[in-house]
Structure 1
Amino acid sequence: MRPLFSVVIISLAFLSCSQKRKSASEKIDRFSLVSRHNVTVNKFDSLGSLSVGNGSFAFSVDATGLQTFPEMYENGVCLGTQSEWGWHSFPNQGNYRLEETYQYFDVEGRKVSYAVQWNEPGRKRDAANYFRQNPHRLHLGNIGFELLKAGGQRVKPDAIEEIEQTLNLWEGVISSSFKIEQKKVEVQTTCHPSRDIIAVEVQSERIKNGLVGINLRFPYPTGNHTGGASDWQSPEKHQSAVISENNNSAVFEHNLDSTTYFVKLNWSGNAKIIQKEPHYFVLQPAGESEIFSFSAEYSPNNNFAEPLNFLQTKEVAASHWQEFWETGGAVDFSGTDDPRAEELERRTILSQYLTRIQCAGEFPPQETGLTFNSWYGKFHLEMHWWHGVHWALWNRSELLEKGLGYYSDIFEKAKKKAEIQGYKGVRWPKMTGPAGNDSPSGVGEFLIWQQPHIIYFAELVYREKPYRETLEKYAPLVFETAEFMADFARWNDENNRYILGPPLIPAQESLEKEKTYNPPFEVAYWHWGLSVAQKWRQRMNLPENEEWQKVIDGLPSFAQKDGLYLAAESAPDSYENEHYYSDHPMVLGAFGLLPETVPAERQIMENTFNYIAENWNWPRTWGWDYPMAAICAVRQGKPEEAVELLLKDVQKNSYLPNGHNYQDDRLRIYLPGNGGLLWAVAAMCTGFEGEENHNPGFPDDWKVQWENLDPPF
C-alpha cells in the first residue's frame, strides 16, 4: 500500500516581530540589494513605461518623465492615471436590470440563477453587456509636456535624443533627461505616499525660451474591455473647466455624465493657464527661470488639503520608500553563481515595487493594477489571493489587511446573492467593482475558488495578531463564508460522499460548467477552509458546527486514473483531451497553494506533477501558474524543478525590463504573476509551517540570504 499524505490542519505557531525568521546572522545590505535593480530606459519603448504610485493611485510615464506621447504606448504599457475611486458608468438608457441576464440551472430540485452572457441578439445580451461594462475604471487624464522647437513647430518623438531615464527604487523617483535641438531637459517625477499627488521638477534653458509647457488633457472613457480607457474623439460628451485660479494654483473640474472629479495644479514661479481646445489646457511658465516645478492632485471632491511643493513631496516619498525597503522581508541572491539567480532577484525586487504602487489599496486590485484597464477595470476576487497573500509572508500584513474591509462593505450584497440562489451564508462575487455587483459571465459566475479566500486572509491576519479583537473583527466573514461552503456541497447517496457542482467551473477554467464536479483544488480548499472555520469557533469558545463537520468528513479523495490525479472527478479524459491540459494546472494547487489537507497518495501526486511538468500546454497558461507549480515541486522536495518552473522560458512567464509580467498582446502586464512570484520566493526560502530546513526551494549550491519572512500554511 502506498503511503498517504496525512491530513494536516495547521495549528499556528505565532511569531512576534522579534522572532521573524531569517537565513543568516549577517544583515542584508538592503540599499545595495534594491539599488542594483534600478530600471533604466534609453529610448521610447511601448512596453517600457515607468510608474510612480502609492497603492491606491498610480501615474505612468513615457521616456520624457510625463505622459507626453500616450499614443505611442496605447498598445503597450499604457500611460495611465488611475485611482481606486475613479469610476464611471454610461447612462442606463435601456433601464436594464441584472435579473434580465439570469440563466437558471436545476440544483436539487430548485432553479438557481446565474448572471450570464448571451450570444443571441436582443435585450438579454444588451443587458449583460451593460452590466459587464459598467462601472468601468477611469483614466483621470494626461499630464504631458507641451514641447516646441525654436521655430515654433511641435516636437515629435523622433526629435528627442539622448534619452536617459532611471527609476530610483529606493527613493521612488523617476529621473529623466533628453535633448531637443542639442538642449537638455531634465525631469524628476514622484508620487506622494498617501495623497493622490504627482510632483514634477523640470530644468532646462528651453523653459526660459518659452519652448516647454505642461499640458493637461481630459478624455471621455471608452468602455473597452482592455486598454487605456481614453476616448479623445468625443469632446461633446463631457465637460472640463477651470473653476478657480490664482497666481500659483488652479482647480479643474471634469464632468462625465453622473461622475465628477477634480484636479488641482500647484506650481512655483509665474505661469498661466491657457485653454487650447475643449479638455486641453496648458500650464505655461513665464520663462523667468530654467527651473519649473509643479504638483497635480486628483480628488473625487473639491476639498484639497494644504498644497505641497515638489521638494516636500519628494522628501516624504523618499522617506516612505526607504521605510518600505528597510522593513518587511528581503531576499539576496548575490551569493549564488547560477546566472538564473540574478534574474530571479531582479524580478523579486521589481515585483515588490510594482505591487506596492499598484496593489496596496482599500479595494482588491484589477489584474492590470492602476496602469490600464482589463476587464473594464474591475477586480477579480479569485485573483485577490495572488495580489494579497504575499504581503503577509513578506511581513507587510498591514497591506493585506488594508484591503479586507471591502468584504465587510459588500457583505450584505453577498448574503443577498446567496439567498437569491437558495444558499445559506454569503456568496462572494467574481468580477466586480467597488459596490460588489455581479458582472454577467459564462465563466466567472460559476467559479467558486474565491469563496474560501477570506478565510485564508483572516487566518493570516490572526497569525500576525492572535487576539480576541482579530477574531471578533473577521468571525462574521469567516462563519458566513463557511455557511455557504457547507450548503453548496451536495450529498450524493449513490457514492456516499459530498460533491461540489455542477454547475461549476473550477479554477482550471477549461472544464465545462454543466457537468464538472469535484475538481481537486476546490475539494481541498473546501476541506481546508471549513476546517479553519471550525478552528475559529474553537478559539472563540463556540461549539463545533456539526453541519460543517459532516461536509469536512464527507468530502471525497482526489479522483484518479492510470496513476494520475484528474482535473475533476467528472473528467476521466483529463490527459487525453487536449482542451483539458491547458489553462491553470490546478491539480498542482491542491498540493501547492494549500498544505497537506485531503489524503493523497504520494506516488500518484509525484506522477501527476511529473506528467504535467513534461506535457502541459504551458504556452496556454497564466503568469501565476509557474509559482504555483514551483511550490508544488518544493512540497515534494524537488528544488531544481522548482527553480526551473519559476523561471520557465515561456512567453507568459516573461518579465519586462520594468518588471511587469507580460502575457500577450491583450494583457501586456499581469500583476497576479508578480504577486505569485513573491509568494513563491518566500515559500522557497522559509519552507512551510513546521518545516525546519532553510531554503528548501533552492538547489544546494544556491546561496540565498533572506530575512524577515514568514512561511505559508
Structure 2
Amino acid sequence: MTGVPSAQTRPTPSGTIDREAVVRRHNVRYAGPCPESPVSVGNGEFAVTVDHTGLQSFADRYERNAARSRGEAATPLGMQAQWGFHWFPNPHGYRLEDTMEAHPSPRGPVKYPSAYDFRESREESEAAGRGAGYYYWTNPQRLHLAQVGLLLDGRVPEWEEIQEAGQELDLWTGVVTSRFLIEEHAVQVRTAVDPERDCLAFEMESAVEVAERLAVRVAFPYVEESFEAPPVWDQPEAHRTDYRADGGAHVWERTVDEARYQVRAMGTFSVNGSGHEWVLRATESVLRCAVEFAPELPADPISAPGEVLVRSARGWEDFWRRGAAVDLGASTADGAHELERRIVLSQYQTRVHCSGSTPPQETGLVCNSWGGTFHLEMHWWHAAHFPAWGRPGLLERSLAWYKSILPVARAGAVAQGFRGARWPKHVGPEGIESPNDIGPLLVWQQPHVISYAELLRTGAEDEAAVRQRYRVLVDETAEFLASFALLDGDAYHLPPPLMPAQEVYGAAQTWDPLFEVAYVRWALLTALAWRRADGRAEPALWARVADGLRPVVSEDGHYDAVQRPPRTVYTDHPAMLGALGVVPDTGAIDHEAMLRTLERACAQWNWRSAWGWDFPMIAMCATRLGRADVALSALLRTEDKNTHLPNGHNRQVPHRMPLYLPGNGGLLMATALLFGGWVDSDGVHRRVELPEGWSVVAEGFPPRP
C-alpha cells in the first residue's frame, strides 16, 4: 500500500535547499510581551528562557501561580541544566523498599514500587502511611540555577515602564535581540548561550540618559518539593551562596542541601550585594556579561562575552547545515507554511532542550514538571528524531546514561524474577523509579533502547562500530523482553501486571496490548539480527518469543487496543496505531485491518483526551499505510494539545504543562517518515505520494527502518 518516490517529494543531494532562507523565514518575532510563548537560548545541556527584555526581568510575573491568579497564560522563565538536581533531606529515613506492593501475576506475586497516589499531597500521603511514596515521587527536583534580570533605579521595573518592546530570535544564530524604550530612551539586549559550555552571555546597550540607572540582578533561589517544583525565594536560610572575587572573575559557590554547583561571571561590570542577591553595574558604555554554571567550573574562564555570541552563531549554522532539511516553500496546500514552521521550530527547541547528557524532562529546561525528572517512555518522542534527521550524535549524548544505570536496571529485573535489564519509567539521574500505580508497570519504554540503537546503525557508515558500542544495551533489553513474555499453548503473551501505553486499562487485567506486542516482537527480531551480523549465537528463546507474539485481528476486522480479551476505549492515547508506524513493519500486522482501525480511531476518538505525541503517532501509521492525506491532517489537526505556540512549543495544559517537547520530537519523527521515507524489510526504499498542492524538497535523510 506504500508508494515510491512521488513527483511532489523530490529527494535531492545535500546543498540543494537554501537552508538559511528556510530557517530564517521562521525566526520568532514579537512586537511586545508574549508571556505564554517566551523564547529560549541553549545548547541541550543548559538553557535560559527570557522575557521581552532579553533577560528574566519579570520572572515572578511569569511563574505559574502568579499567572493563575491573574487568569492569564504564561510560561515560567527557567535557567536549568541537565546536571542540576537536588534531593530534599530525608529525616524519616524513607527507602524505596517502603513503597513496594505485591501485585498478582500468572507467575505469582511480584513487587513493584506502587504505594503512592500521585494526586496526594505530602500531608495526605503521610497520613495514609505512604510518606515514602511522596518523597520518592517528588525527589529529586531539577534546580533553578539562577535568575538574571534588569533593574531600573535599583528595583525591578514596572511592567508598563518597558515600552515599544520588539524582540527577534534569530534561529540561524541562536541570538535573541530585544529592543525597548524606558522613558523614551532606547535599550538593546542581545542574548545567547555558548554551544559547548553552560554559559549565558548578554550585552546591554542603552541611551546615555538612562544607562547609569540600569543594572542587572543575579539572584539564587531554593526549590519546592512538588510536581511543579518552582523556585522558592522566601527560605534564604535553607541554602547558601558564598561569593569570592577571583582575579577578574566573580565566583559564587552554591550549596542547596547536598547539591553543589559553581557560578562564574566576567565582563564589563562591577559587583555588589550579599546573600542570594547580587547587582551588576556597567563599568563601560555597554554592559557585557558571560555567566557560566557548572558542578565544578573549568580552569579557563570565558572572559569575552561577545565571543559567546560569535560561537553561538557558528554552532547554530553548523547544526542547520548538517543532517536533513525540507523545503515546503513551493507548496500551495493550506497548512504547508504552518507545517514547515513547526518543523523548523521543533528542530530548534529539541536541540536546545532535548540533546543533553540525560533524557530530558517533558518541559525541557524551561520549567519543572514531575519535579524536573524524566520519563523514559517519552525519551523516544524527545530524541529518536535526531538520527532520523541525520544528527545521530545528539541522541548519543544521552545513551551513555543508560549504560550508567545498567546495574540499577539489572537489579530491578532480578528483583521481579526476570533476566536482563528492565529500564525504569520516571526517574532522575540515579535511575531510581518514582513510585505510583502506573509508571513502574509500564513496558513500552523497554524496546526504545533497541530502537535508538537500530536508528543509529541504519544511518551509520560503520555499522559494526555501532553494534559494538551498543550491543550490551541491546542484549540486556532483549533478554528482559524474552523473559517477561509468557508461554501459553503455542503462543507467547505479554501478561499482567502490565500498564499499556494507553493508560486507561487496569494493569491487573491487561494482557497483550497490541502496540506492546508488535513492538516487543520487532525489538527481539532486531536484537537477533544484530547478533547474526556479528556472528554471535542467536538465543533460541528470543526467536521463539518473537515468533510467538502474534497480533490478532478482532472478529469485526479491526485491531483492538488490548487483545485478551479484545477491547478498545476511545480515549487517552490511540496506542494501537503505533503497532504500525512507530513500530516498523515486520509482516505481523495486516495492513487492511490496520487501515480500518486507523479510520475508526480518527472518527471516534475523544481528541480532548489525546496528547501532543498522539497526532504524530497517527501520522506515522497513516504514512506506512500509504495515506499521506490522513498523516498531514493529523499533524495539522486543530486541537488544544496539537497547538504549536509562536515560539514553536507544543502547548498541553496551560500553567501545569505549558509546553510538551514529546509533541515536537514526535512531529519531527513523523515528518522524517513522511518526507524522507523508510527502508522496508526487503531493503526497498519507500516514500508515499503526497496529496495535490504539496510540493516538498527533501535532502539529507538517512535510511531508517
What TM-score do the two structures reach when normalised by structure 1? Answer: 0.92
1:451 to 442, 446, 449: 446
Matches within 5 A, 1:316-355: 316-355=311-350
Q: Aligned equivalents of 2:420 and 2:209: distance in 1?
A: 62
Equivalent residue number for residue 497 of structure 1: 491
Residue 209 of structure 1 deviates from its aligned partner by 4.5
Q: Which amino acid aligns with 2:486?
A: R
1:48, 1:62 within 8 Å by CA — same for their partners in 2? no
Query: Would the aligned equivalents of 1:207 and 1:291 in 2 still touch at CA under 8 Å?
Result: no
2:624 to 635, 641, 649: 635
Amino acid across the alignment from 1:649 = T
Contact persistence 2:106–2:496 (CA under 8 A): no
- For the pair 1:285 / 2:277, whether they are aligned, the reply is no
Show the counterpart of 2:6. none
CA 1:302–1:627 in structure 2 vs 1: closer, same or farther (change >3 Å)? closer
Residue 212 (structure 2) aligns with: 210
Tell me which of 468, 478, 482 is aligned to 1:482.
478
Q: Within 1, Cα distance between the matches of 2:392 and 2:155?
A: 52
> Is the counterpart of residue 435 in structure 1 residue 430 in structure 2?
yes
SS at match of 1:184: strand
Residue-by-residue CA offset, 1:495-549 (whole Å, 9 max, x unaligned): x321102000111111110100101110001110011111111112122211111
CA spacing shift, 1:318–1:511, aligned 2, 3 Å? same
Task: Answer yes or no: is 1:544 the counterpart of 2:538.
Answer: yes
The reply to whether residue 294 of structure 1 matches residue 284 of structure 2 is no
* Letter paired with 2:255: N
Query: C-alpha displacement at 1:331, in angstroms?
Result: 0.5
For structure 1, which segment, 696-705 or 649-658, has the greater mean C-alpha deviation from structure 2 after superposition? Answer: 696-705
Out of 506, 509, 519, the residue aligned to residue 525 of structure 1 is 519
For residues 207 and 71 of structure 1, what CA distance do their matches in structure 2 show? 28
Query: Would the aligned equivalents of 1:206 and 1:212 in 2 still touch at CA under 8 Å?
Result: no
Which piece of structure 1 moves more, 693-702 or 229-238? Answer: 693-702
The 1:109–1:39 alpha-carbon spacing in structure 2 relative to 1, beyond 3 Å, is closer
AA of the residue aligned to 1:33 = V
Q: Give the aligned partner of residue 422 of structure 1.
A: 417
Shift of 1:693: 7.6
| Cα pair distance change 1:694/1:339, threshold 3 Å | farther
State the distance in 2 between where 1:338 and 1:355 align.
27
SS of residue matched to 2:177:
strand
Distance in 2, matches of 1:135 and 1:305, equals 31
8 Å contact kept, 2:261–2:294? yes
Aligned to 2:7: none
SS at match of 1:655: coil
2:474 partner letter? V
- Counterpart of 1:701 in structure 2 is 693
2:414 aligns to what SS in structure 1? helix
Are the aligned partners of 1:118 and 1:124 in contact in 2 as well (CA < 8 Å)? Answer: no
Structure 2: how far apart are the matches of 1:526 and 1:300? Answer: 39
SS at structure 1 position matched to 2:562:
coil
Residue aligning to 2:5: none
**For residues 509 and 181 of structure 1, what CA distance do their matches in structure 2 show?**
55
Q: CA deviation at 1:572?
A: 3.3
Q: Cα 1:523–1:109, aligned 2, differ >3 Å: closer, same or farther?
A: closer
1:599 has 2:596 as partner? no
* C-alpha contact 1:631 1:680 (8 A) present in aligned 2: yes
Query: Structure 1 residues 693 and 218, CA, compared in 2 at 3 Å: closer, same or farther?
Result: same
Letter of the 2:670 counterpart: A
Paired amino acid for 1:533: A
CA distance in 2: counterparts of 1:195 and 1:647, whole angstroms: 36
CA contact (8 A) 2:228 2:371 kept: yes
CA distance in 2, matches of 1:166, 1:589: 38
Report the Cα offset of residue 77 of structure 1: 1.9
Q: 2:133 aligns to what?
A: 128
Shift of 1:74: 1.2
Q: Which residue of 1 aligns with 2:171?
A: 169
Which residue among 653, 659, 671 is the counterpart of 2:648?
659
Give the equivalent residue in structure 1 for 2:245: 244
In the alignment, which residue of structure 1 is the partner of 2:253?
Answer: 253
Q: CA deviation at 1:108?
A: 3.8
Task: State the partner residue of 1:510.
Answer: 504
Are residues 226 and 570 of structure 1, via their aligned partners in 2, closer, same or farther at CA, if it must alter by over 3 Å? farther
Counterpart-to-counterpart distance in 1, 2:298 and 2:309: 22
Alignment of 1:105 onto 2:77? no
Structure 2 contact 281–287 (Cα < 8 Å) conserved: no
Distance 1:517 1:477 in 2: 26
Deviation at 1:207, TM superposition (A): 7.7
The 3 A distance-change label for structure 1 pair 109 and 527 is closer
Letter in 1 for 2:662: P
- What is the match of residue 94 of structure 2? 96
Equivalent of 2:151 in 146, 151, 156 = 146
The CA distance in 2 between the partners of 1:36 and 1:241, in whole Å, is: 45
CA contact (8 A) 2:150 2:157 kept: no
AA at the equivalent of 1:541: G
* Per-residue deviation, residues 534-580 of structure 1 (Å, max 9, x unmatched): 11111121222111111112112235242221110135342xxxxx2
Deviation for aligned residue 1:245: 4.7
Determine if contact 2:518/2:588 at 8 Å carries over to the other structure. Answer: no
Identical-pair percentage: 39
Cα drift, residue 700 of structure 1: 3.6
User: What's the CA shift for 1:302?
Assistant: 4.4
Deviations 1:623-651 (A, max 9, x none): 11111101211112211111111111001
- The structural deviation recorded for 1:350 is 0.5
Q: Deviations over 1:570-607 (max 9, x none)?
A: 35342xxxxx2111101110011112225233332121
Q: Give, in whole Å, the separation in 2 of the partners of 1:188 and 1:618.
A: 41
CA displacement at 1:319 relative to structure 2: 0.8
Local SS of the residue matching 1:46: coil
Partners of 2:690 and 2:665 in 1: CA distance: 19
Deviates more, 1:412-421 or 1:208-217: 208-217
Distance 2:535 2:56 in 1: 57
Q: Deviations over 1:208-231 (max 9, x none)?
A: 65211010011100122125x201
Find the aligned partners of 1:601 and 1:273 in 2 and give their Cα distance. 68
Aligned length: 678
Per-residue deviation, 1:491: 1.1
Please give the alpha-carbon distance, in whole angstroms, between the structure 1 residues aligned to 2:158 and 2:520. 57
3-state DSSP of counterpart to 2:130: helix
Which residue of the partner structure matches residue 472 of structure 1?
468
**1:27 and 2:16 are equivalent in the alignment:** yes
Greater alpha carbon shift after TM alignment, 124-133 vs 463-472: 463-472
Equivalent residue letter for 1:673 = G
User: How far, CA to CA, are the matches of 1:686 and 1:312 in structure 2?
Assistant: 37
Relative to 1, partners in 2 of residues 1:285 and 1:568: Cα closer, same or farther, differing over 3 Å?
same
- Taking the TM superposition and a 5 Å limit, the aligned residue runs for 1:661-680 are 661-665=650-654, 666-680=656-670
Tell me the amino acid that sits aligned with residue 305 of structure 1. D
1:118 — aligned with what?
116
Q: 1:692 to 1:412 in 2, by over 3 A?
A: closer
Q: Does 1:72 align with 2:61?
A: yes
Q: Which secondary structure state, in structure 1, belongs to the residue aligned with residue 222 of structure 2?
A: coil
- Please say if residues 650 and 663 of structure 2, whose CA atoms lie closer than 8 Å, have aligned partners that are also in contact: yes
- Offset at 1:136? 1.1
Corresponding position of 1:267: 267
Alignment CA distance shift 1:302-1:591 (3 Å): closer
Equivalent residue in structure 1 for 2:27, among 20, 25, 38 = 38
